[in-house]
Chains A and B, each alone.
Chain A
Amino acid sequence: KAGVTQTPRYLIKTRGQQVTLSCSPISGHRSVSWYQQTPGQGLQFLFEYFSETQRNKGNFPGRFSGRQFSNSRSEMNVSTLELGDSALYLCASSPGRTGQATGELFFGEGSRLTVL
Chain B
Amino acid sequence: AQKITQTQPGMFVQEKEAVTLDCTYDTSDPSYGLFWYKQPSSGEMIFLIYQGSYDQQNATEGRYSLNFQKARKSANLVISASQLGDSAMYFCAMRSYFGNEKLTFGTGTRLTIIP
Interface residues of A (CB under 8 A from B): 31, 33, 35, 42-43, 45, 48, 50, 55-56, 58, 88, 90, 92, 94, 96, 98-99, 101-103, 105-110, 112
Contact = CB atoms under 8 A, between A and B. Distances in A.
9 contacts: A33-B101, A33-B102, A33-B103, A43-B91, A48-B101, A92-B45, A96-B101, A107-B46, A109-B44
Nearest to B107: A42
Contact of A110 (B43, B97, B108): B43
B31 interface: yes
A103 B61 CA distance: 12
Given A43-B91, A110-B44, A112-B43, A31 B105 contact: no
B43 A101 contact: no
B101 A31 contact: yes
Contacts, number: 74
B103 A103 contact: no
Nearest to A44: B105
Interface residues of B, number: 29
A56 B101 contact: yes
A56 B44 CA distance: 23
Given A101-B97, A103-B50, A110-B44, A45 B108 contact: no
Given A42-B108, A88-B43, A98 B37 contact: no
B101 A109 contact: no
State the 8 A-B residue pairs at the shortest beta-carbon distance, nearest first.
A103-B50, A107-B45, A101-B97, A98-B99, A43-B105, A109-B44, A110-B43, A31-B101
Interface-central residue, B44, B49, B50, B101, by most chain A CB under 10 Å: B101
Contacts of A55: 99-101
Contacts of B44: 107-110
Contact of A45 (B31, B43, B45, B102): B102
A92 B103 contact: yes
B47 A105 contact: yes
Interface string B83-107: 0000000010101111111111101
